[in-house]
Structure 1
Protein backbone atom coordinates (compact mmCIF):
# COMPACT_ATOMS: atom_id res chain seq x y z
CA UNK A 1 0.00 0.00 0.00
CA UNK A 2 1.56 3.28 -1.15
CA UNK A 3 0.37 6.55 0.40
CA UNK A 4 1.28 10.15 -0.42
CA UNK A 5 0.34 12.86 2.10
CA UNK A 6 0.34 16.65 1.78
CA UNK A 7 0.40 18.90 4.84
CA UNK A 8 2.16 16.04 6.62
CA UNK A 9 4.19 18.20 8.99
CA UNK A 10 1.14 19.81 10.61
CA UNK A 11 -0.91 18.63 13.57
CA UNK A 12 -3.33 16.31 11.77
CA UNK A 13 -0.81 15.53 9.04
CA UNK A 14 1.64 14.09 11.55
CA UNK A 15 -1.06 11.73 12.82
CA UNK A 16 -1.82 10.62 9.27
CA UNK A 17 1.86 9.82 8.71
CA UNK A 18 2.17 8.06 12.08
CA UNK A 19 -0.90 5.91 11.48
CA UNK A 20 0.13 5.03 7.90
CA UNK A 21 3.57 3.91 9.08
CA UNK A 22 2.08 1.82 11.89
CA UNK A 23 -0.05 0.05 9.29
CA UNK A 24 3.07 -0.76 7.30
CA UNK A 25 2.17 1.49 4.37
CA UNK A 26 4.91 2.82 2.10
CA UNK A 27 4.56 6.49 3.00
CA UNK A 28 5.74 9.61 1.18
CA UNK A 29 5.12 13.22 2.18
CA UNK A 30 5.01 16.41 0.14
CA UNK A 31 6.37 19.44 1.97
CA UNK A 32 7.57 22.91 1.08
CA UNK A 33 11.35 23.49 1.25
CA UNK A 34 12.38 24.46 4.77
CA UNK A 35 9.17 23.21 6.38
CA UNK A 36 9.27 22.55 10.12
CA UNK A 37 9.33 18.77 10.64
CA UNK A 38 9.29 18.80 14.45
CA UNK A 39 5.90 17.04 14.55
CA UNK A 40 7.47 14.14 12.66
CA UNK A 41 10.76 13.89 14.54
CA UNK A 42 9.63 10.78 16.45
CA UNK A 43 8.87 8.90 13.22
CA UNK A 44 11.10 6.99 10.81
CA UNK A 45 10.66 5.33 7.45
CA UNK A 46 8.85 7.91 5.33
CA UNK A 47 10.08 9.55 2.14
CA UNK A 48 10.31 13.34 2.04
CA UNK A 49 9.60 15.07 -1.27
CA UNK A 50 10.05 18.83 -1.40
CA UNK A 51 7.58 20.65 -3.62
CA UNK A 52 6.67 24.11 -4.83
CA UNK A 53 2.90 24.42 -4.89
CA UNK A 54 2.98 27.46 -7.18
CA UNK A 55 1.73 25.61 -10.25
CA UNK A 56 0.60 22.21 -11.51
CA UNK A 57 3.87 22.08 -13.44
CA UNK A 58 6.01 22.49 -10.31
CA UNK A 59 3.95 19.90 -8.44
CA UNK A 60 4.23 17.48 -11.35
CA UNK A 61 8.00 17.96 -11.36
CA UNK A 62 8.11 16.84 -7.72
CA UNK A 63 5.92 13.73 -8.08
CA UNK A 64 6.69 12.55 -11.61
CA UNK A 65 9.09 9.82 -10.50
CA UNK A 66 6.83 8.37 -7.81
CA UNK A 67 5.42 4.90 -8.43
CA UNK A 68 1.63 4.71 -8.70
CA UNK A 69 0.04 5.53 -5.36
CA UNK A 70 -2.91 3.70 -3.83
CA UNK A 71 -3.92 6.76 -1.84
CA UNK A 72 -3.16 10.45 -2.00
CA UNK A 73 -4.30 12.33 1.10
CA UNK A 74 -4.56 16.07 0.53
CA UNK A 75 -4.35 17.59 3.98
CA UNK A 76 -2.51 20.84 3.22
CA UNK A 77 -4.62 23.96 3.52
CA UNK A 78 -5.16 27.38 5.06
CA UNK A 79 -7.14 27.66 8.29
CA UNK A 80 -6.78 31.36 9.08
CA UNK A 81 -7.33 34.35 6.80
CA UNK A 82 -9.35 37.55 6.83
CA UNK A 83 -10.61 37.19 3.27
CA UNK A 84 -12.37 34.61 1.13
CA UNK A 85 -9.75 35.32 -1.53
CA UNK A 86 -6.99 34.23 0.84
CA UNK A 87 -8.73 30.94 1.59
CA UNK A 88 -9.60 30.27 -2.06
CA UNK A 89 -6.00 30.86 -3.14
CA UNK A 90 -4.85 27.93 -1.01
CA UNK A 91 -7.79 25.67 -0.25
CA UNK A 92 -9.31 25.71 -3.72
CA UNK A 93 -6.57 26.65 -6.20
CA UNK A 94 -3.95 24.40 -4.60
CA UNK A 95 -6.38 21.48 -4.63
CA UNK A 96 -7.05 22.04 -8.32
CA UNK A 97 -3.32 22.25 -9.12
CA UNK A 98 -2.56 19.08 -7.18
CA UNK A 99 -5.30 17.14 -8.95
CA UNK A 100 -4.07 18.40 -12.33
CA UNK A 101 -0.52 17.28 -11.53
CA UNK A 102 -1.72 13.87 -10.29
CA UNK A 103 -3.71 13.31 -13.46
CA UNK A 104 -0.82 14.46 -15.64
CA UNK A 105 1.70 12.16 -13.91
CA UNK A 106 -0.70 9.21 -13.49
CA UNK A 107 0.20 9.31 -9.79
CA UNK A 108 -2.85 7.33 -8.69
CA UNK A 109 -3.07 3.62 -9.42
CA UNK A 110 -6.19 2.49 -11.35
CA UNK A 111 -7.94 1.67 -8.08
CA UNK A 112 -6.36 4.53 -6.14
CA UNK A 113 -8.25 7.20 -4.21
CA UNK A 114 -7.76 10.91 -3.69
CA UNK A 115 -8.73 11.69 -0.08
CA UNK A 116 -9.50 15.34 0.59
CA UNK A 117 -9.46 16.56 4.18
CA UNK A 118 -12.24 19.12 4.28
CA UNK A 119 -14.05 20.28 7.42
CA UNK A 120 -17.48 20.18 9.04
CA UNK A 121 -17.33 23.95 8.45
CA UNK A 122 -18.18 23.14 4.81
CA UNK A 123 -21.57 21.93 6.06
CA UNK A 124 -21.92 24.75 8.57
CA UNK A 125 -23.57 24.89 12.01
CA UNK A 126 -26.93 23.23 12.65
CA UNK A 127 -29.74 25.25 11.07
CA UNK A 128 -27.42 27.46 9.05
CA UNK A 129 -28.14 25.76 5.70
CA UNK A 130 -24.53 26.04 4.58
CA UNK A 131 -21.13 27.36 5.66
CA UNK A 132 -21.03 30.22 8.16
CA UNK A 133 -17.49 31.36 7.39
CA UNK A 134 -15.19 32.07 4.46
CA UNK A 135 -13.10 29.11 5.58
CA UNK A 136 -16.13 26.82 5.31
CA UNK A 137 -17.07 28.31 1.93
CA UNK A 138 -13.57 27.69 0.57
CA UNK A 139 -13.63 24.10 1.79
CA UNK A 140 -17.00 23.54 0.10
CA UNK A 141 -15.61 24.99 -3.14
CA UNK A 142 -12.60 22.67 -2.90
CA UNK A 143 -14.90 19.69 -2.38
CA UNK A 144 -16.76 20.61 -5.56
CA UNK A 145 -13.43 20.73 -7.43
CA UNK A 146 -12.61 17.22 -6.18
CA UNK A 147 -16.02 15.81 -7.11
CA UNK A 148 -15.90 17.25 -10.63
CA UNK A 149 -12.31 16.11 -11.32
CA UNK A 150 -13.18 12.63 -12.56
CA UNK A 151 -10.82 10.87 -10.15
CA UNK A 152 -11.94 8.39 -7.51
CA UNK A 153 -12.20 10.34 -4.30
CA UNK A 154 -13.14 10.38 -0.65
CA UNK A 155 -14.02 13.63 1.12
CA UNK A 156 -13.71 13.86 4.90
CA UNK A 157 -15.37 16.50 7.05
CA UNK A 158 -13.90 16.27 10.56
CA UNK A 159 -15.45 18.27 13.38
CA UNK A 160 -13.25 19.92 16.04
CA UNK A 161 -9.99 17.96 16.21
CA UNK A 162 -7.83 17.72 19.32
CA UNK A 163 -4.98 15.59 20.63
CA UNK A 164 -1.22 15.34 20.97
CA UNK A 165 0.77 17.93 18.98
CA UNK A 166 -2.17 20.34 18.83
CA UNK A 167 -1.86 23.55 20.86
CA UNK A 168 -5.28 25.19 20.50
CA UNK A 169 -6.45 23.85 23.88
CA UNK A 170 -3.32 24.92 25.77
CA UNK A 171 -4.82 28.23 27.02
CA UNK A 172 -7.94 26.44 28.29
CA UNK A 173 -5.92 23.79 30.11
CA UNK A 174 -3.65 26.43 31.65
CA UNK A 175 -6.75 28.22 32.92
CA UNK A 176 -8.18 25.06 34.47
CA UNK A 177 -4.84 24.46 36.21
CA UNK A 178 -5.33 27.92 37.74
CA UNK A 179 -8.84 26.98 38.90
CA UNK A 180 -10.78 28.78 36.14
CA UNK A 181 -12.89 27.42 33.30
CA UNK A 182 -13.44 30.25 30.79
CA UNK A 183 -16.59 29.87 28.73
CA UNK A 184 -17.14 32.28 25.86
CA UNK A 185 -20.07 30.50 24.22
CA UNK A 186 -23.66 29.93 25.45
CA UNK A 187 -24.08 27.62 28.44
CA UNK A 188 -26.06 25.08 26.38
CA UNK A 189 -23.64 25.25 23.44
CA UNK A 190 -23.50 21.86 21.72
CA UNK A 191 -20.11 20.73 20.42
CA UNK A 192 -18.70 17.66 18.72
CA UNK A 193 -15.06 16.57 18.85
CA UNK A 194 -12.74 13.86 17.58
CA UNK A 195 -9.18 12.90 18.45
CA UNK A 196 -6.63 13.34 15.66
CA UNK A 197 -5.55 9.71 15.88
CA UNK A 198 -9.13 8.61 15.23
CA UNK A 199 -9.36 10.97 12.28
CA UNK A 200 -6.23 9.42 10.78
CA UNK A 201 -7.43 5.86 11.40
CA UNK A 202 -10.76 6.44 9.68
CA UNK A 203 -9.33 8.39 6.75
CA UNK A 204 -6.96 5.52 5.98
CA UNK A 205 -9.45 2.69 6.54
CA UNK A 206 -12.50 4.25 4.89
CA UNK A 207 -10.42 5.19 1.85
CA UNK A 208 -9.61 1.50 1.34
CA UNK A 209 -13.25 0.43 1.51
CA UNK A 210 -15.25 3.19 -0.14
CA UNK A 211 -15.10 5.58 -3.06
CA UNK A 212 -16.81 8.80 -4.13
CA UNK A 213 -18.29 9.41 -0.67
CA UNK A 214 -18.37 12.31 1.78
CA UNK A 215 -17.77 11.21 5.37
CA UNK A 216 -18.38 13.30 8.48
CA UNK A 217 -15.92 12.49 11.25
CA UNK A 218 -16.87 12.86 14.93
CA UNK A 219 -16.65 10.54 17.93
CA UNK A 220 -20.39 9.93 18.17
CA UNK A 221 -21.06 12.15 21.19
CA UNK A 222 -22.43 15.65 21.69
CA UNK A 223 -20.64 17.68 24.36
CA UNK A 224 -21.39 20.76 26.41
CA UNK A 225 -19.02 22.83 28.49
CA UNK A 226 -19.74 20.83 31.63
CA UNK A 227 -18.52 17.65 29.92
CA UNK A 228 -15.23 19.20 28.88
CA UNK A 229 -14.81 20.92 32.25
CA UNK A 230 -15.37 17.65 34.14
CA UNK A 231 -12.90 15.74 31.97
CA UNK A 232 -10.16 18.34 32.35
CA UNK A 233 -10.70 18.69 36.10
CA UNK A 234 -10.35 14.93 36.53
CA UNK A 235 -7.20 14.73 34.40
CA UNK A 236 -5.59 17.73 36.08
CA UNK A 237 -6.83 16.86 39.59
CA UNK A 238 -8.07 20.43 39.89
CA UNK A 239 -11.47 21.98 40.57
CA UNK A 240 -12.37 25.08 38.58
CA UNK A 241 -15.02 27.74 38.68
CA UNK A 242 -16.91 28.88 35.60
CA UNK A 243 -15.82 32.18 34.15
CA UNK A 244 -18.54 33.10 31.69
CA UNK A 245 -18.09 35.88 29.15
CA UNK A 246 -21.14 36.91 27.14
CA UNK A 247 -21.13 36.70 23.34
CA UNK A 248 -21.62 40.45 22.85
CA UNK A 249 -18.54 41.15 24.97
CA UNK A 250 -16.46 38.55 23.14
CA UNK A 251 -17.56 39.84 19.72
CA UNK A 252 -16.72 43.42 20.71
CA UNK A 253 -13.26 42.43 21.91
CA UNK A 254 -12.62 40.35 18.80
CA UNK A 255 -13.70 43.23 16.55
CA UNK A 256 -10.94 45.32 18.12
CA UNK A 257 -8.49 42.44 17.84
CA UNK A 258 -9.39 41.98 14.17
CA UNK A 259 -8.75 45.64 13.48
CA UNK A 260 -5.33 45.51 15.13
CA UNK A 261 -4.36 42.29 13.35
CA UNK A 262 -5.43 43.64 9.98
CA UNK A 263 -3.43 46.83 10.43
CA UNK A 264 -0.38 44.83 11.47
CA UNK A 265 -1.00 42.31 8.68
CA UNK A 266 -0.96 39.61 11.32
CA UNK A 267 -2.70 36.24 11.13
CA UNK A 268 -5.55 36.17 13.68
CA UNK A 269 -5.48 33.60 16.48
CA UNK A 270 -9.25 33.87 16.73
CA UNK A 271 -11.24 36.15 14.45
CA UNK A 272 -14.74 37.49 15.11
CA UNK A 273 -16.02 35.51 12.11
CA UNK A 274 -14.53 32.25 13.34
CA UNK A 275 -15.90 32.82 16.85
CA UNK A 276 -19.38 33.52 15.45
CA UNK A 277 -19.16 30.22 13.59
CA UNK A 278 -17.87 27.94 16.34
CA UNK A 279 -20.16 29.40 19.03
CA UNK A 280 -23.19 27.98 17.21
CA UNK A 281 -24.46 24.40 17.68
CA UNK A 282 -22.87 21.47 15.83
CA UNK A 283 -24.94 18.52 17.07
CA UNK A 284 -25.69 16.81 13.78
CA UNK A 285 -27.15 13.31 13.72
CA UNK A 286 -25.03 11.15 11.43
CA UNK A 287 -26.59 7.84 12.48
CA UNK A 288 -27.85 7.03 8.98
CA UNK A 289 -24.41 7.73 7.52
CA UNK A 290 -22.84 5.47 10.16
CA UNK A 291 -24.99 2.54 8.94
CA UNK A 292 -23.38 2.88 5.53
CA UNK A 293 -19.91 3.97 6.64
CA UNK A 294 -19.16 2.93 10.24
CA UNK A 295 -16.25 4.56 12.04
CA UNK A 296 -13.64 3.17 14.40
CA UNK A 297 -13.34 5.36 17.51
CA UNK A 298 -10.61 4.48 20.00
CA UNK A 299 -10.45 7.63 22.12
CA UNK A 300 -13.05 8.75 24.62
CA UNK A 301 -13.03 12.43 25.52
CA UNK A 302 -11.04 11.72 28.68
CA UNK A 303 -8.55 9.39 26.99
CA UNK A 304 -8.10 11.83 24.12
CA UNK A 305 -7.36 14.77 26.37
CA UNK A 306 -5.04 12.66 28.47
CA UNK A 307 -2.92 12.08 25.36
CA UNK A 308 -2.97 15.82 24.67
CA UNK A 309 -2.08 16.80 28.25
CA UNK A 310 0.74 14.22 28.34
CA UNK A 311 2.15 15.85 25.22
CA UNK A 312 1.79 19.36 26.65
CA UNK A 313 3.60 18.30 29.82
CA UNK A 314 6.37 16.62 27.83
CA UNK A 315 6.91 19.79 25.81
CA UNK A 316 6.58 22.02 28.90
CA UNK A 317 3.60 23.86 27.39
CA UNK A 318 1.45 23.85 30.52
Structure 2
Protein backbone atom coordinates (compact mmCIF):
# COMPACT_ATOMS: atom_id res chain seq x y z
CA UNK A 1 0.00 0.00 0.00
CA UNK A 2 1.59 3.25 -1.16
CA UNK A 3 0.46 6.52 0.41
CA UNK A 4 1.49 10.08 -0.43
CA UNK A 5 0.61 12.90 2.01
CA UNK A 6 0.72 16.66 1.46
CA UNK A 7 0.99 19.00 4.45
CA UNK A 8 2.59 16.10 6.30
CA UNK A 9 4.73 18.21 8.63
CA UNK A 10 1.77 19.99 10.24
CA UNK A 11 -0.26 18.95 13.27
CA UNK A 12 -2.78 16.66 11.57
CA UNK A 13 -0.33 15.73 8.83
CA UNK A 14 2.09 14.27 11.35
CA UNK A 15 -0.67 12.03 12.71
CA UNK A 16 -1.52 10.87 9.19
CA UNK A 17 2.14 9.94 8.64
CA UNK A 18 2.40 8.22 12.01
CA UNK A 19 -0.74 6.17 11.46
CA UNK A 20 0.24 5.19 7.90
CA UNK A 21 3.65 3.97 9.08
CA UNK A 22 2.08 1.97 11.92
CA UNK A 23 -0.13 0.25 9.37
CA UNK A 24 2.96 -0.73 7.38
CA UNK A 25 2.14 1.50 4.40
CA UNK A 26 4.93 2.72 2.13
CA UNK A 27 4.66 6.39 3.03
CA UNK A 28 5.92 9.44 1.15
CA UNK A 29 5.46 13.06 2.21
CA UNK A 30 5.24 16.09 -0.06
CA UNK A 31 6.70 19.22 1.60
CA UNK A 32 8.09 22.59 0.60
CA UNK A 33 11.91 23.01 0.68
CA UNK A 34 13.07 24.01 4.14
CA UNK A 35 9.84 22.97 5.84
CA UNK A 36 9.98 22.43 9.61
CA UNK A 37 9.94 18.68 10.27
CA UNK A 38 9.93 18.84 14.08
CA UNK A 39 6.48 17.21 14.25
CA UNK A 40 7.93 14.18 12.48
CA UNK A 41 11.19 13.89 14.41
CA UNK A 42 9.94 10.86 16.35
CA UNK A 43 9.06 8.96 13.17
CA UNK A 44 11.23 6.96 10.79
CA UNK A 45 10.76 5.15 7.50
CA UNK A 46 8.95 7.78 5.41
CA UNK A 47 10.23 9.16 2.11
CA UNK A 48 10.59 12.95 1.77
CA UNK A 49 9.75 14.63 -1.53
CA UNK A 50 10.33 18.37 -1.79
CA UNK A 51 7.95 20.33 -3.97
CA UNK A 52 7.14 23.83 -5.13
CA UNK A 53 3.38 24.20 -5.37
CA UNK A 54 3.67 27.23 -7.66
CA UNK A 55 2.71 25.44 -10.88
CA UNK A 56 1.39 22.16 -12.23
CA UNK A 57 4.78 21.47 -13.81
CA UNK A 58 6.66 21.95 -10.52
CA UNK A 59 4.32 19.52 -8.76
CA UNK A 60 4.62 17.05 -11.63
CA UNK A 61 8.42 17.29 -11.39
CA UNK A 62 8.21 16.23 -7.74
CA UNK A 63 6.16 13.20 -8.79
CA UNK A 64 8.55 11.98 -11.47
CA UNK A 65 10.57 9.53 -9.34
CA UNK A 66 7.62 8.20 -7.36
CA UNK A 67 5.74 4.98 -8.17
CA UNK A 68 1.98 5.10 -8.72
CA UNK A 69 0.18 5.58 -5.40
CA UNK A 70 -2.80 3.78 -3.91
CA UNK A 71 -3.80 6.84 -1.91
CA UNK A 72 -2.93 10.53 -2.05
CA UNK A 73 -4.02 12.49 1.02
CA UNK A 74 -4.22 16.21 0.33
CA UNK A 75 -3.89 17.82 3.74
CA UNK A 76 -1.93 20.98 2.86
CA UNK A 77 -3.91 24.19 3.21
CA UNK A 78 -4.31 27.60 4.81
CA UNK A 79 -6.13 27.76 8.15
CA UNK A 80 -5.84 31.39 9.22
CA UNK A 81 -6.06 34.51 7.07
CA UNK A 82 -8.21 37.63 6.60
CA UNK A 83 -9.29 37.58 2.98
CA UNK A 84 -11.18 35.09 0.86
CA UNK A 85 -8.69 35.71 -1.96
CA UNK A 86 -5.79 34.34 0.05
CA UNK A 87 -7.77 31.32 1.20
CA UNK A 88 -8.76 30.63 -2.42
CA UNK A 89 -5.17 30.97 -3.61
CA UNK A 90 -4.01 28.23 -1.24
CA UNK A 91 -6.99 25.99 -0.52
CA UNK A 92 -8.63 26.05 -3.95
CA UNK A 93 -5.99 26.90 -6.54
CA UNK A 94 -3.36 24.63 -5.00
CA UNK A 95 -5.87 21.78 -4.95
CA UNK A 96 -6.62 22.37 -8.62
CA UNK A 97 -2.90 22.36 -9.54
CA UNK A 98 -2.33 19.18 -7.54
CA UNK A 99 -5.16 17.41 -9.34
CA UNK A 100 -3.87 18.55 -12.74
CA UNK A 101 -0.41 17.21 -11.85
CA UNK A 102 -1.90 13.89 -10.70
CA UNK A 103 -3.62 13.55 -14.07
CA UNK A 104 -0.52 14.62 -16.01
CA UNK A 105 1.77 12.08 -14.31
CA UNK A 106 -0.59 9.16 -13.68
CA UNK A 107 0.77 9.20 -10.13
CA UNK A 108 -2.46 7.64 -8.83
CA UNK A 109 -3.29 4.02 -9.63
CA UNK A 110 -6.57 3.41 -11.52
CA UNK A 111 -7.97 1.89 -8.32
CA UNK A 112 -6.49 4.65 -6.16
CA UNK A 113 -8.18 7.46 -4.24
CA UNK A 114 -7.56 11.13 -3.62
CA UNK A 115 -8.50 11.91 -0.01
CA UNK A 116 -9.14 15.60 0.57
CA UNK A 117 -8.99 16.93 4.14
CA UNK A 118 -11.67 19.59 4.25
CA UNK A 119 -13.39 20.86 7.40
CA UNK A 120 -16.79 20.93 9.07
CA UNK A 121 -16.48 24.69 8.46
CA UNK A 122 -17.43 23.90 4.85
CA UNK A 123 -20.86 22.85 6.15
CA UNK A 124 -21.07 25.69 8.65
CA UNK A 125 -22.71 25.93 12.07
CA UNK A 126 -26.12 24.39 12.72
CA UNK A 127 -28.87 26.51 11.18
CA UNK A 128 -26.48 28.72 9.23
CA UNK A 129 -27.29 27.16 5.85
CA UNK A 130 -23.66 27.08 4.78
CA UNK A 131 -20.18 28.25 5.74
CA UNK A 132 -19.88 31.12 8.23
CA UNK A 133 -16.29 32.06 7.37
CA UNK A 134 -14.04 32.66 4.39
CA UNK A 135 -12.06 29.60 5.46
CA UNK A 136 -15.19 27.45 5.28
CA UNK A 137 -16.16 28.96 1.92
CA UNK A 138 -12.73 28.18 0.47
CA UNK A 139 -12.92 24.60 1.73
CA UNK A 140 -16.34 24.15 0.14
CA UNK A 141 -14.98 25.50 -3.15
CA UNK A 142 -12.03 23.10 -2.98
CA UNK A 143 -14.42 20.20 -2.37
CA UNK A 144 -16.17 21.04 -5.64
CA UNK A 145 -12.82 20.97 -7.45
CA UNK A 146 -12.18 17.49 -6.06
CA UNK A 147 -15.67 16.23 -6.91
CA UNK A 148 -15.41 17.46 -10.50
CA UNK A 149 -11.89 16.12 -11.03
CA UNK A 150 -12.92 12.78 -12.51
CA UNK A 151 -10.65 11.09 -9.95
CA UNK A 152 -11.98 8.66 -7.35
CA UNK A 153 -12.11 10.68 -4.16
CA UNK A 154 -13.00 10.80 -0.51
CA UNK A 155 -13.71 14.11 1.23
CA UNK A 156 -13.31 14.39 5.00
CA UNK A 157 -14.84 17.14 7.13
CA UNK A 158 -13.32 16.90 10.61
CA UNK A 159 -14.79 19.00 13.39
CA UNK A 160 -12.51 20.66 16.00
CA UNK A 161 -9.31 18.61 16.14
CA UNK A 162 -7.09 18.35 19.21
CA UNK A 163 -4.27 16.15 20.46
CA UNK A 164 -0.50 15.84 20.75
CA UNK A 165 1.49 18.31 18.63
CA UNK A 166 -1.37 20.78 18.46
CA UNK A 167 -0.85 24.15 20.16
CA UNK A 168 -4.23 25.88 19.82
CA UNK A 169 -5.35 24.66 23.25
CA UNK A 170 -2.15 25.72 25.04
CA UNK A 171 -3.57 29.11 26.22
CA UNK A 172 -6.65 27.35 27.63
CA UNK A 173 -4.52 24.77 29.45
CA UNK A 174 -2.35 27.53 30.92
CA UNK A 175 -5.44 29.37 32.14
CA UNK A 176 -6.82 26.25 33.83
CA UNK A 177 -3.47 25.72 35.54
CA UNK A 178 -3.93 29.22 36.98
CA UNK A 179 -7.40 28.28 38.22
CA UNK A 180 -9.36 30.05 35.49
CA UNK A 181 -11.58 28.72 32.71
CA UNK A 182 -12.22 31.51 30.18
CA UNK A 183 -15.71 31.21 28.71
CA UNK A 184 -16.14 33.71 25.89
CA UNK A 185 -19.72 32.85 25.03
CA UNK A 186 -22.80 34.05 26.92
CA UNK A 187 -24.61 30.79 26.40
CA UNK A 188 -23.62 27.13 26.63
CA UNK A 189 -23.03 26.60 22.94
CA UNK A 190 -22.70 23.05 21.67
CA UNK A 191 -19.50 21.80 20.09
CA UNK A 192 -18.03 18.58 18.74
CA UNK A 193 -14.42 17.42 18.87
CA UNK A 194 -12.17 14.62 17.64
CA UNK A 195 -8.63 13.57 18.45
CA UNK A 196 -6.13 13.87 15.60
CA UNK A 197 -5.15 10.21 15.89
CA UNK A 198 -8.77 9.20 15.34
CA UNK A 199 -8.98 11.51 12.32
CA UNK A 200 -5.92 9.83 10.81
CA UNK A 201 -7.22 6.32 11.52
CA UNK A 202 -10.55 6.95 9.84
CA UNK A 203 -9.11 8.80 6.84
CA UNK A 204 -6.84 5.86 6.08
CA UNK A 205 -9.40 3.13 6.74
CA UNK A 206 -12.41 4.76 5.05
CA UNK A 207 -10.33 5.62 1.99
CA UNK A 208 -9.60 1.93 1.47
CA UNK A 209 -13.27 0.92 1.67
CA UNK A 210 -15.26 3.74 0.06
CA UNK A 211 -15.15 6.14 -2.85
CA UNK A 212 -16.81 9.37 -3.93
CA UNK A 213 -18.20 10.09 -0.45
CA UNK A 214 -18.09 13.00 1.98
CA UNK A 215 -17.48 11.89 5.57
CA UNK A 216 -17.95 14.06 8.65
CA UNK A 217 -15.47 13.21 11.39
CA UNK A 218 -16.36 13.67 15.08
CA UNK A 219 -16.17 11.41 18.12
CA UNK A 220 -19.94 10.96 18.42
CA UNK A 221 -20.46 13.23 21.44
CA UNK A 222 -21.76 16.75 21.87
CA UNK A 223 -19.87 18.88 24.39
CA UNK A 224 -20.38 22.11 26.25
CA UNK A 225 -17.67 24.14 27.97
CA UNK A 226 -18.52 22.58 31.32
CA UNK A 227 -17.59 19.14 29.94
CA UNK A 228 -14.22 20.41 28.76
CA UNK A 229 -13.65 22.30 32.03
CA UNK A 230 -14.32 19.20 34.12
CA UNK A 231 -12.02 17.03 31.99
CA UNK A 232 -9.16 19.53 32.22
CA UNK A 233 -9.65 20.02 35.96
CA UNK A 234 -9.34 16.27 36.49
CA UNK A 235 -6.28 15.93 34.27
CA UNK A 236 -4.47 18.93 35.75
CA UNK A 237 -5.62 18.28 39.35
CA UNK A 238 -6.80 21.85 39.54
CA UNK A 239 -10.12 23.41 40.46
CA UNK A 240 -10.91 26.51 38.45
CA UNK A 241 -13.58 29.18 38.24
CA UNK A 242 -15.41 30.33 35.14
CA UNK A 243 -14.11 33.60 33.76
CA UNK A 244 -17.05 34.79 31.70
CA UNK A 245 -16.49 37.46 29.07
CA UNK A 246 -19.45 38.87 27.14
CA UNK A 247 -19.64 38.35 23.41
CA UNK A 248 -19.66 42.11 22.59
CA UNK A 249 -16.48 42.60 24.64
CA UNK A 250 -14.73 39.69 22.94
CA UNK A 251 -15.73 40.92 19.48
CA UNK A 252 -14.53 44.45 20.26
CA UNK A 253 -11.16 43.18 21.49
CA UNK A 254 -10.75 40.89 18.50
CA UNK A 255 -11.63 43.73 16.12
CA UNK A 256 -8.74 45.72 17.58
CA UNK A 257 -6.49 42.67 17.38
CA UNK A 258 -7.48 42.16 13.73
CA UNK A 259 -6.45 45.73 12.86
CA UNK A 260 -3.07 45.28 14.56
CA UNK A 261 -2.44 41.93 12.88
CA UNK A 262 -3.38 43.33 9.46
CA UNK A 263 -1.06 46.31 9.85
CA UNK A 264 1.79 44.04 10.92
CA UNK A 265 0.97 41.54 8.16
CA UNK A 266 0.70 38.93 10.90
CA UNK A 267 -1.35 35.73 10.82
CA UNK A 268 -4.13 36.01 13.42
CA UNK A 269 -4.23 33.57 16.31
CA UNK A 270 -7.97 34.12 16.69
CA UNK A 271 -9.77 36.52 14.37
CA UNK A 272 -13.17 38.11 14.98
CA UNK A 273 -14.61 36.10 12.08
CA UNK A 274 -13.27 32.81 13.43
CA UNK A 275 -14.62 33.57 16.92
CA UNK A 276 -18.06 34.34 15.49
CA UNK A 277 -17.96 31.01 13.68
CA UNK A 278 -16.80 28.71 16.49
CA UNK A 279 -19.07 30.29 19.12
CA UNK A 280 -22.15 28.96 17.32
CA UNK A 281 -23.67 25.46 17.69
CA UNK A 282 -22.08 22.51 15.86
CA UNK A 283 -24.17 19.61 17.17
CA UNK A 284 -25.12 17.92 13.90
CA UNK A 285 -26.69 14.47 13.98
CA UNK A 286 -24.60 12.21 11.74
CA UNK A 287 -26.18 8.94 12.93
CA UNK A 288 -27.54 8.09 9.47
CA UNK A 289 -24.11 8.63 7.95
CA UNK A 290 -22.54 6.47 10.68
CA UNK A 291 -24.85 3.59 9.71
CA UNK A 292 -23.42 3.73 6.18
CA UNK A 293 -19.83 4.62 7.05
CA UNK A 294 -19.03 3.67 10.67
CA UNK A 295 -16.06 5.32 12.35
CA UNK A 296 -13.43 3.90 14.69
CA UNK A 297 -13.04 6.15 17.73
CA UNK A 298 -10.31 5.27 20.21
CA UNK A 299 -9.99 8.45 22.27
CA UNK A 300 -12.48 9.73 24.80
CA UNK A 301 -12.33 13.45 25.60
CA UNK A 302 -10.30 12.78 28.73
CA UNK A 303 -7.90 10.33 27.09
CA UNK A 304 -7.44 12.62 24.13
CA UNK A 305 -6.59 15.66 26.20
CA UNK A 306 -4.27 13.57 28.38
CA UNK A 307 -2.20 12.84 25.26
CA UNK A 308 -2.19 16.55 24.41
CA UNK A 309 -1.21 17.62 27.94
CA UNK A 310 1.55 15.01 28.09
CA UNK A 311 2.96 16.49 24.88
CA UNK A 312 2.68 20.06 26.20
CA UNK A 313 4.57 19.06 29.34
CA UNK A 314 7.23 17.21 27.37
CA UNK A 315 7.83 20.28 25.20
CA UNK A 316 7.65 22.73 28.15
CA UNK A 317 4.68 24.49 26.57
CA UNK A 318 2.70 24.67 29.81
TM over 0.5: yes
Residue number in structure 2 paired with 1:229: 229
Question: Any runs of at least 4 consecutive aligned residues in structure 1 with deviations exceeding 6 A, and if so which?
Answer: none
Q: Distance in 1 between matches of 2:274 and 2:177?
A: 26
Q: Distance in 1 between matches of 2:266 and 2:197?
A: 31
Residue number in structure 2 paired with 1:317: 317
TM-score w.r.t. the length of structure 1 is 1.00
- Aligned pairs for 1:260-275 within 5 A: 260-275=260-275
Residue number in structure 1 paired with 2:41: 41
Residue number in structure 2 paired with 1:80: 80
Q: Distance in 1 between matches of 2:55 and 2:25?
A: 28
Residue number in structure 2 paired with 1:286: 286
Residue number in structure 2 paired with 1:151: 151
- The answer for unaligned runs of 5 or more in structure 1 is none
Shift of 1:74: 0.2
> Is the aligned partner of 1:113 residue 2:88?
no
Residue number in structure 2 paired with 1:219: 219
Shift of 1:188: 1.4
Residue number in structure 2 paired with 1:134: 134
**Deviations 1:20-74, CA, capped at 9 Å, x for gaps:** 0000000000000000000000000000000000001000000122111000000
Shift of 1:186: 3.2
Residue number in structure 2 paired with 1:16: 16
Residue number in structure 1 paired with 2:95: 95
State the Cα RMSD in Å.
Answer: 0.5
- The answer for unaligned runs of 5 or more in structure 2 is none
Q: Distance in 2 between matches of 1:264 and 1:23?
A: 44
Q: Distance in 2 between matches of 1:101 and 1:65?
A: 14
**Deviations 1:150-179, CA, capped at 9 Å, x for gaps:** 000000000000000000000000100110
TM-score w.r.t. the length of structure 2 is 1.00
Q: Distance in 2 between matches of 1:227 and 1:2?
A: 40
